[in-house]
Amino acid sequence: MTAPATSPVTAGPRTPVHRVNFRFSPGGRYAACLTAGDDPAAYPELWDLTGHEPRPRALRTWDGENAATVPLPTDDGDLLLCRSGPYGSRLTFAPGGGPEEAELMAVRRGGLRLLPGTALVLEMDGDGGTTVWRLPGGAAPPERLTRLPHPVGAAARLDERGESVALGAGEAGTLVLDVTSGAVTSLGLPADEHLLLAASGLLLTAVPHGSGHRLGLRALGDPAPAAVLEGLNRIEGSVAPLALDPAGRLLALSVTRRARSHLLLHDLTADTSSEVELPPGSLHPVACWAEDGLRLVHSGGDRPTGVITIVGPSASRAGGERSGWATPRTHDYPAPEGGTEAVVYGEPGSAPGLVVALHGGPEAGWRLGFDPLFQRLAAEGIAVVAPNQRGSTGYGTAHREAVQGAWGGPDLADILHLGRHLTAERGPGRARPMLYGVSYGAYLALLAAAAEPDLWERAVVVAPFLSGPLLHQDGPVPVRNLIDRLGGREEIHDDLGPRDLLRLAGCIRVPLLVVHGEHDPVIPVTHSRRLTGRLRETGHPSVTYAEIPDAGHDPLSDLGGQATRERVLAFLRHPPQ
């Protein structure tokens, strides 16, 4: 099969540095996202995909937007905006993406959610149920179709016109909604088999297999068990299905291997894959396979996130706009067992400053996508080494599961080994490495600062937690489930002892900036408050606590996080004396 090509993305009226919440119109004629640049206020951006090259256009709204706004374009170039906040949710219609808006509906309890690829909006009523509304088009008010006594998760359009939609309804299984009549029936899948994608009467499902799932295929309405393709399920890496082609023969897959994403097209008839050449970077988990090509959302280390279209019969390279950003690379560093790959900006051995950045998770990893904070650090002459230590994804099962039941064990050993190596590489007379971490990475950074305080110059931690057991006690249900699955409450018995930051606070002596969002839904803000209080009790020489009003789990990466990023940059440039 001949590899398709990618069409380039051109710059919009200003060069943005952060784009989130991408959505495509049902037919793939338009895309929309939220964008933030130098201005702390975010704004919608509408992408016209009907020409030879995507044409993004910035749209201004009266009060600016935040990361809770979800824009959804129509195939006519209009825009729906779903806004959520502490006082409820509301849905508005902006014809032509213009500044004039008409409110379609608003709710105070629960929330609203637009279903991409459909003309449906879901109202979560706060009692565990979901009311489904149909959007007739334009500024016409929504029409109530039905209420389901279940929360609705995934959704997939079952026919080309979107008149039949499958809805994942938790314990009720996968349901089929007739959009014209509101009738609801069962799709007929086993309760533990989940629909992922659909096209031309073909269903891609997640089929239970041992302790996990495999990808399976079945025809719509066929009671036979799903066919599990061996070639499809042998693909190495972290595999995420993106889209089925309109004919139902090709499946687009994002495959993460090490620090970059790969695009594979899998022929479902031949059960074979071919790779489409893309610039090094990261694919986002949203796509649309239109009649004229496959639309993807992609970012490179030196290219802000944008839309690319796979077309053609010939292969060529193309990516997003380039704006003088630093080009990161990957580098393998020595580790206690094997090596640790890292995403690297600048020259760690000779730069005036060096930051070792630790990702959250622990089941996560740094990728070669665009990172506004790392770009700003590189522009300031501060090199960045972002390691994918043991526990990170993209490096096989053994690497990922190395911290199972051992949080702050093998991964901490990798970080300390890396810190010693970088210090030796920099030589005498240069500043020691600094630490930066978010969530689990913040916890790991504080453990590293406690284990070897003289190895580090200073540290910034965003949304740290105190320990696995304390987070299990205080955190929300999904976090407690993750801790149980990964063995985060098990203790390690070595010279450092239990990985409890309240116990280890007296060992942390580096200048420290602690940042936490006031409304963090993942890690309670009380963990940072208790930590900074304990550090001050121990006589810590320099700890600064910044609690960010109205912010969530990652106030630096949130749209509108520019002020917080500037505060972090200032601390890394000029630590308090």
Q: Beta 120-124 vs 282-290: how paired, if at all?
A: unpaired
Strand partners, 70: 82
What is the structure's pLDDT at 237?
A: 86
> Alpha-carbon distance 124 to 153, whole Å?
11
Query: SS3 for 75?
Result: coil
**Chain centroid to CA 4: how far?**
26
Asked whether 15 and 323 are in contact (CB, 8 A), the reply is yes
Burial (CB < 10 A; 0-12, 13-18, 19+), residue 26, is: buried
Asked whether 42 and 69 are in contact (CB, 8 A), the reply is yes
Q: At what angle do helices 440-451 and 410-426 cross, to 10 degrees?
A: 60
What is the structure's pLDDT at 10?
A: 34
What is the structure's pLDDT at 63?
A: 66
What is the structure's pLDDT at 320?
A: 46
Query: SS3 for 344?
Result: strand
The phi-psi region of residue 396 (left if phi > 0; otherwise alpha if psi is between -120 and 50; otherwise beta) is: left
With a CB cutoff of 8 Å and minimum separation 6, the contacts of 260 are: 280, 281, 282, 330, 367, 368
> Alpha-carbon distance 196 to 187, whole Å?
13
What is the structure's pLDDT at 354?
A: 97
* H or E segment to which residue 416 belongs: helix 410-426
Query: What tokens were used for 327?
Result: 């080009």
> Alpha-carbon distance 389 to 368, whole Å?
16
Alpha helices by DSSP H, listed for 46-159, are none
**Chain centroid to CA 65: how far?**
19
Torsion of CA 395, 327, 348, 340, to 10 degrees: 0
Query: SS3 for 536?
Result: helix
Query: SS3 for 151?
Result: coil
Q: At what angle do helices 562-573 and 372-379 cross, to 10 degrees?
A: 40
Asked whether 199 and 210 are in contact (CB, 8 A), the reply is no
Q: Map tokens 């201005």 to a residue.
A: 39
> Alpha-carbon distance 58 to 46, whole Å?
7
What is the structure's pLDDT at 391?
A: 95
Strand partners, 513: 460, 544
What is the structure's pLDDT at 314?
A: 30
Asked whether 112 and 142 are in contact (CB, 8 A), the reply is no
Q: What is the mean pLDDT of each run of 10 residues along the chain (577 residues)?
A: 35 57 91 80 88 85 77 91 83 83 86 85 83 90 90 83 82 85 87 84 85 86 87 90 90 92 93 90 91 90 88 42 79 94 96 96 92 90 96 92 96 97 94 96 98 96 97 95 95 92 96 94 96 95 91 78 86 69
Among 66, 63, 94, smallest CA distance to 81 is for 94
Q: Map tokens 């580098």 to a residue.
A: 331
> Alpha-carbon distance 429 to 274, whole Å?
51
What is the structure's pLDDT at 562?
A: 77
Burial (CB < 10 A; 0-12, 13-18, 19+), residue 184, is: middle
| CA 295-32-200 angle, 5° bins | 40
